[in-house]
Amino acid sequence: MTKRLADHSYRFDLGDLKGAVHLRFADPGQLRRGARCGARPDGHAETVALNLQEIREGVCLNSWTEASGATVTHLEDFENGKFYSNVTVDGKLYHFIGTIKEA
């Protein structure tokens, strides 16, 4: 895990969904996530197994599977404060672009 992420929390603003996902990188293989957005207006939190790959300093490719079966892949560009996300839910693929801020 990169030093930038270890034991830190970030807010991922989802823009069009009018919400955000909060991610806490606890250790190299685990991620605590919480969401409050159009799909989950009352919020939801869970801990998931994380596959984290550093592409270069400040850019990571992360993926995980949620308890619901949804799969998530993030390309996170911390240097420029942007992320790109692909999410599959019930066999349908969704694409998101948003911003990253340390929480």
> Which token pair is 83?
């992320």
CA 6 to chain centre: 14
pLDDT digits over 59-76, tens only? Answer: 999 999 988 898 999 999
Average pLDDT over the chain, rounded to an integer:
82
Partners of 79 in the beta sheet? none
Q: What does the chain come to in residues?
A: 103
Task: Please say whether the beta carbons of 85 and 73 come within 8 A.
Answer: yes
Contacts 24+ apart (CB under 8 A), 63-68: 64/31, 64/33, 66/33
pTM for the full predicted model: 0.80
> Which token pair is 51?
């596959």
